[in-house]
Amino acid sequence: MNKELHQFREQYERSSLNRSDLHVDPFEQFKSYLQIAVEEKVHEPNAMALSTISEEGYPQTRIVLLKEIEKDAFVFYTNYTSDKAKDIAHDPKVSAVFLWKEMQTQVRISGLAEKVSREQSNKYFATRPRKSQLGAWASDQSSNIDSRGVLESKMEEMETRFKDEENIPAPDHWGGYRIIISTFEFWQGRRSRLHDRFRYTQKDGTWIIERLAP
Ligand SMILES: Cc1cc2nc3c(=O)[nH]c(=O)nc-3n(C[C@H](O)[C@H](O)[C@H](O)COP(=O)(O)O)c2cc1C
């Protein structure tokens, strides 16, 4: 690397966030921001870094994709035997962050995760490409495997198993989680590190909005 890390320095001046522009409902605020992200061609704007708490008390973070926005929750899909699922079973508190680099925007959320209904998972599973459906059957996510060959032969096994099925059912070990959100934070990069930050916290059914120092 011929550039030192301290030489990476971005000026944030694309946009601003004003209290008067904020929607009273953070879900509406998120949706309108997401719309801008889509228009600005942000790569995978639905990707979020999701943190869970392991049984040993360590935060564990990985990327998952936001697939549905509900009235009070965000939904992602995963394997119910994965490490993140074990973490959630032990402690449902989670947080997530979206980085929309091209917009110089960050959105943070936190809340409690719970499984969605089997019906909801089945419905989403049916929309996935066939190969992704087979992948969900083939991968025992987060378990140790000896080689890539193990995974590929499991995939072949599943291709044979479901070759006559037009619609592949969702495995029981696969499904969605809804994060019932209690806080949002919208961050907009500004000049001289004087960024705009607004936090929404839910109190007695209404959302309180506060500006935070950057
Ligand atoms: C861009 C991107 C999107 C991803 N989307 C998902 C997803 O929606 N669901 C999922 O289970 N894993 C997704 N992953 C893989 C996870 O980051 C992670 O490796 C996997 O879920 C296992 O995590 P765990 O062992 O902590 O449970 C994605 C990874 C990337 C880089």
pLDDT tens digits, one per residue of 151-166: 999 999 999 999 999 9
Tell me if 62 CB under 6 Å of ligand 1: yes
Beta strands in the chain (DSSP E): 47-53, 59-69, 73-79, 93-100, 105-115, 174-188, 196-203, 206-211
**CATH 2.30.110.10 segments of the chain:** 13-126+173-211
Give distance in angstroms: CA of 64 to centre of ligand 1.
5
Tell me if the pTM is above 0.85.
yes
Q: Does residue 178 surpass a pLDDT of 80?
A: yes
> 13-126+173-211 architecture in CATH?
Roll (2.30)
Q: Which of 161, 193, 197, 199 is catalytic?
A: 193
Which alpha helices (DSSP H) does 65-183 contain, by range? 83-90, 118-125, 130-138, 148-161
Tell me if 53 CB under 6 Å of ligand 1: no
pLDDT tens digits, one per residue of 24-79: 999 999 999 999 999 999 999 999 999 999 999 999 999 999 999 999 999 999 99
**Ligand 1 closest atom vs CA 78:** 11
CA 73 – CA 111 distance, rounded (Å): 9
- Give the residue-averaged pLDDT of 110-136: 97
CA dihedral sign, ordered 100, 106, 107, 113: positive
73-79 and 59-69: which strand pairing? antiparallel
> In the prediction, which pLDDT does 180 show?
98
> In the prediction, which pLDDT does 89 show?
98
Q: Does residue 147 surpass a pLDDT of 90?
A: yes
| Protein residue with its CA nearest to atom 6 in ligand 1 | 64
Distance of CA 79 to the CA centre of its chain: 14
Residue 203 DSSP symbol: E
